[in-house]
Chains A and B, each alone.
Chain A
Amino acid sequence: MNTGTGIHRPVVRVGAPPRGTTAADVTYVPLRPVRAPQVPGVHSDFDGYARDRWPRLVATARLLTEDTYGAEELARRTLVRVCARWRRIPRDDVDFHVRRCLVRGHLRARRAGGRRRAVLVLRYWSGLGEPEIAQMLGCSVGAVRALLRRGAKEARPEDRRAEFAALLAGFTPPAVPLDGIRRDGASRRRRRAGLAAAGCALLLAPPAVLAHGPLTGGDATGAAEASDRQVPGPVRVVAPGERVAAAPGVDVWLTADGHHWSSPQAPNRFHAVSDGTPGHGRPGISVQGERLDGGAYFQTGVYYGLDRDPARIEIRTGGRTVTADVLTLAGSPGWCAWYARTPTPPADAAADSGPSDGGQTVTVYDAAGEVLVRSELGPAVVRAVPAGAWRS
């Protein structure tokens, strides 16, 4: 009688299959896992295996499904799956994997009760050990034993074996539909490869985008064009009445009315800017100055009639250029005050008169480096006025 017992021997091609024995007196012959001989083509390797195992595969399926047509379909589908992943099935454990594929396919198709039947078939017809069955079903050994015990209550193992043998009596396995299996296997493999690729792409895309974003579109601190921009002079916003220590003993401060400064020689000098709104009157600069104790010269003044914010004021005197400090009230009222210490007095002028006759120019630049206004000698110079006198 042809039984499927030989299926659990991994090395069919090497060892002689014990044909003709009955399921009842099958004894497990331990066989060392032996590497399958290297066959040049994958297909021929699979073909040989499939042809060899087909009858017993169908027989096992027949016992599992208890349905002739379903058994053949199940065996065929199992081989399609095996063919699809043939390359990745470990060669020293082919039978286990094929059988697991079969059982899984069966259980996937019909769930209720299928598991118990599978355990009984595997135990009493295939003759597998409990651990192996557990591995095959992906459950614990205890669960397998429980199922066996329950099965043993219904019928004794001997009866069970006999029942299986009776079921398979007169069963002739059909021919192997090898071409169809190979074709379906190949298409299944392609489909799976495509799915895997798509899954990987989906999984990797978000991190890639996330990693890419901050690195390129992130926070590179700019300001590379530092070279060609004009260096601005020191401009300082002051509150009305805020004293600025411009030089030792000299304070400069602005009010809404105009420009004040005090020095040790004169307490409060004032230059009124009554109308600083742009468009009224032409731009101009005033210059006042005083000799300091250290021999340096202090100069200060106001410029007015501006329609743009000044960025830099330069005083050219005696061949030297000094950058003046600029004071402005908040809100760019159209006029600003400036002060500077020039190292040499441009002329031996009296302390209170402007040093205008020393051949110096005061130039106001805007942010783009354009000259806003350049002091003319003479008329732009405004003499110091006592506080309050402008009002009367």
Chain B
Amino acid sequence: MTPSSLTGRLRRGTADRPRLPLRVRLRRSRGRWLRRLLITFVTFLAVVCGAAVVAYRLTVVPEPHPETVVQSTVFVDAEGSYLGRRGPVDRQEVPLSQVPRHVQDAVIAAENRSFRTDTGVSPRAIARAVWATVSGGAPQGGSTITQQYVKNALLSPERSLSRKAREALIAVKLDRTRDKDEILEGYLNTVYFGRGAAGVQSAARNYFDVAAKDLTVSQGAALAAIVNIPSYYEKAGSDPKVTAKLRDRWEWVLDAMEAGGGITRAQRAQARFPAFRFYPPGGTEGQRQYLIDVAAEEAADRLGITGDQLARGGYTVHTTFDLALQDATAESAKEHTKGVKGEKGGKGSAAGDVRVHTAVVGIEPGDGAVRVLYGGADYARQPFNDAVSGAVEAGSVLDPFAGVRLGGPLRGLGDSAAPTPLRLASAYAAVAADGVHATPHTVARITREGRTVHTARPRTRRVLDEKGAHAVTVRAAHGSGGPSGTGAPVVDRAGVGGGGGTFLTAGAGGGITRRTVWSVGYDSRLTVAVALFADRPGAKKNTTVPARLPNDPPPTGYAEELTRRVWDLAGGS
């Protein structure tokens, strides 16, 4: 180094050459600092973006949560009226094609208007939600339908920021890999609508007692309005305050639908706030469970699955029952039971504990479809179905079959002392069908998500020839020709109720020791069998022993009247 450069270096920073003021130095190097800051920022941004991309690549769209795959199985009667359901959750899946377009539009208008166009996450909605939170407005959700679907159906219900991020990632991925309609279908089938109902099908059932495909514009908009706070709006209808609030939101949803082009101005003007079912709903007769029990067992058997699998499988079981007829039968039976009790209470005798059992079976001859099956007054008190599993002493009711050889499923009926009402009814149905026996069945059709998975075919078999059937009918109509072992009354009722049918009343025991009463009526379209018997508590707890039937009112008269009533209600001629 040269001396001058050396001295130059030494002199720097001395009194001769003071350091510049900090302000000036900062100003001079401002550009450099800014550049550094920019580079840092860009690097940070790149790292974040890279992390997001990597996270997106690593994200796997999870399988639907096990709880949201479970569906309930619904039972409906021959007319399609709702009978009841089986299963841990009230949810049934429907294809999107069975959800009316206006219902889809209503849900989109209420929850996520940009659903058809957004990418699964809506920054605008998030910004709006943040703004609402910051500015103290009403809290709004920033979730799209896709995000809600991911949250409800795919992830476990925990609340954390990382889950929120994961949810957004999955939502974006889902949106890129799946169709919008597919996402909407999944959403509509899993979203909670209150009243214990998840999915639009169950919600339509619980709020309006219709299937999802029959929802009107007003009803669809109301359901869409409910999704916001289901636990609050589920009391719609019964609670005037809730109803008024829901009505406001319903108007808002409809306005949004009109603005979005989902409905026309005329539709908007015509829309009337719908009426709701109440929650909890009113009770029904304790009859449905008997029917569901029988139908569920049969349906599971037909499909070759267990009862549990059936209950979780989301099937719709179309039963053969006629619900109106069933209800009327139950009403008639209830009237009589009340009468008996009143009489007993008045007497206060030893027979006070005697319970009269009524079993009614109505079968379509030649087909085997069970239309009525009354096996007990109240399922909660007596889950045992008298009509299906109760062995009722036959007595003279089998006398018309004396001397006739029965084959096939009815083999041995003539010798059995106590057939079930269902079996006896099927025997007389075979007679009504000129000797062709059809196995009684309660399931007509089983569908799942709109597709039929099972259709019942009548399982018929000739069990006696036509001559034999005719002989039985003649004997039934004109009193049993065979030996009447117990001396039970055989009442000829041919021609009662407008003619056409064959009626017979028989039973075991007679006079004051009457034990059972049977009343059967049949023609080629319907066979009705009524069985009456009684029991009283046994010596041990939870056991019963047979008892004689109370004589007032006369059991035979009651049985005949019940048969006739069911016959008339069913439109029998």
With both chains docked as a complex, state the minimum distance between the C-beta of A328 and any C-beta of chain B, in angstroms. Answer: 6
With both chains docked as a complex, state the minimum distance between the C-beta of B226 and any C-beta of chain A, in angstroms. Answer: 15
Cβ A391 vs Cβ B249 within 8 A: no
Give the bracket for the number of chain B residues in contact with chain A. Answer: 35 or more
Interface residue B25 (Cβ < 8 Å from any Cβ of A): yes
In the complex, A10→B247 CA distance in Å?
78
In the complex, A158→B4 CA distance in Å?
9
The digit string for B315-359, where 1 denotes a CB below 8 A from any CB of A, is 000000001100110011011001000000000000000000000
Indicate whether A236 sits within 8 Å of B569 (C-beta atoms), given known contacts A138-B31, A223-B247, A392-B498.
no
Name the CB-closest residue of B to A225.
Answer: B251
- Select B272's contact among A245, A309, A392, beta carbons within 8 Å: A309
Contacts of B210 in A (CB 8 A): 330-331
Interface residue A238 (Cβ < 8 Å from any Cβ of B): yes
Interface residue B81 (Cβ < 8 Å from any Cβ of A): yes
Interface residue B539 (Cβ < 8 Å from any Cβ of A): no
Contacts of A164 in B (CB 8 A): none
Cβ B323 vs Cβ A241 within 8 A: yes
- Select B255's contact among A156, A213, A222, A253, beta carbons within 8 Å: A222
Interface residue B66 (Cβ < 8 Å from any Cβ of A): no
Interface residue B208 (Cβ < 8 Å from any Cβ of A): yes
- Select B275's contact among A223, A237, A391, beta carbons within 8 Å: A237
Cβ A243 vs Cβ B283 within 8 A: yes
Interface residue B571 (Cβ < 8 Å from any Cβ of A): yes
Which of B123-131, B478-486, B505-513, B525-533 is the interface stretch? B123-131
Interface residue A376 (Cβ < 8 Å from any Cβ of B): no
Indicate whether A218 sits within 8 Å of B273 (C-beta atoms), given known contacts A244-B282, A387-B332.
no
Interface residue A178 (Cβ < 8 Å from any Cβ of B): no
Cβ B281 vs Cβ A239 within 8 A: yes
Cβ B331 vs Cβ A214 within 8 A: no
Interface residue B284 (Cβ < 8 Å from any Cβ of A): yes
Name the CB-closest residue of A to B123.
Answer: A210
With both chains docked as a complex, state the minimum distance between the C-beta of A391 and any C-beta of chain B, in angstroms. Answer: 5
In the complex, A243→B287 CA distance in Å?
13
Interface residue B276 (Cβ < 8 Å from any Cβ of A): yes
The digit string for B497-508, where 1 denotes a CB below 8 A from any CB of A, is 110000000000
Cβ A311 vs Cβ B248 within 8 A: no
Contacts of A93 in B (CB 8 A): 24, 27-28
Interface residue B101 (Cβ < 8 Å from any Cβ of A): no
With both chains docked as a complex, state the minimum distance between the C-beta of B546 and any C-beta of chain A, in angstroms. Answer: 28
Cβ B79 vs Cβ A138 within 8 A: no
Cβ B285 vs Cβ A222 within 8 A: no
Name the CB-closest residue of A to B113.
Answer: A219
A window 153-206: CB within 8 A of B: 156-158
Cβ A129 vs Cβ B275 within 8 A: no
Contacts of B29 in A (CB 8 A): 135, 138
In the complex, A254→B327 CA distance in Å?
11
The digit string for B430-449, where 1 denotes a CB below 8 A from any CB of A, is 00000000000000000000
Cβ A253 vs Cβ B338 within 8 A: no
The digit string for B242-278, where 1 denotes a CB below 8 A from any CB of A, is 0000011101100100000000000000001111111
In the complex, A237→B82 CA distance in Å?
14
Interface residue A326 (Cβ < 8 Å from any Cβ of B): yes
With both chains docked as a complex, state the minimum distance between the C-beta of B568 and any C-beta of chain A, in angstroms. Answer: 5
Which of B10-18, B364-372, B379-387, B394-402 is the interface stretch? B10-18
Contacts of A219 in B (CB 8 A): 128, 140, 252
The digit string for A315-333, where 1 denotes a CB below 8 A from any CB of B, is 0000000000010111100
Name the CB-closest residue of B to A257.
Answer: B324
With both chains docked as a complex, state the minimum distance between the C-beta of A102 and any C-beta of chain B, in angstroms. Answer: 15
Cβ A158 vs Cβ B124 within 8 A: no
Indicate whether A30 sits within 8 Å of B323 (C-beta atoms), given known contacts A156-B2, A239-B281.
no
Interface residue A242 (Cβ < 8 Å from any Cβ of B): yes
With both chains docked as a complex, state the minimum distance between the C-beta of B4 and any C-beta of chain A, in angstroms. Answer: 7
In the complex, A135→B335 CA distance in Å?
106
With both chains docked as a complex, state the minimum distance between the C-beta of A26 and any C-beta of chain B, in angstroms. Answer: 11
In the complex, A329→B497 CA distance in Å?
31
Q: B interface vs A, CB < 8 Å? A: 1-2, 4-5, 12, 16-18, 21, 24-25, 27-29, 31-32, 35, 79, 81-82, 124, 127-128, 131, 140, 207-210, 214, 237, 247-249, 251-252, 255, 272-278, 281-285, 323-324, 327-328, 331-332, 334-335, 338, 497-498, 565, 568-569, 571
Extra pairs beyond A326-B275, A367-B272 (6, CB < 8 Å)? A157-B4, A221-B252, A222-B248, A255-B328, A387-B569, A388-B569
Q: A interface vs B, CB < 8 Å? A: 28, 30, 33, 90, 92-93, 96, 129-130, 135-136, 138-139, 152, 156-158, 210-211, 213-214, 218-219, 221-223, 226, 232, 234-245, 253, 255-257, 260, 267-268, 309, 311, 326, 328-331, 367, 387-388, 391-392
Q: What are 11 contact pairs spanning A and B, CB under 8 A?
A: A30-B16, A214-B127, A214-B131, A236-B275, A236-B277, A237-B277, A243-B282, A253-B282, A256-B81, A388-B565, A391-B569
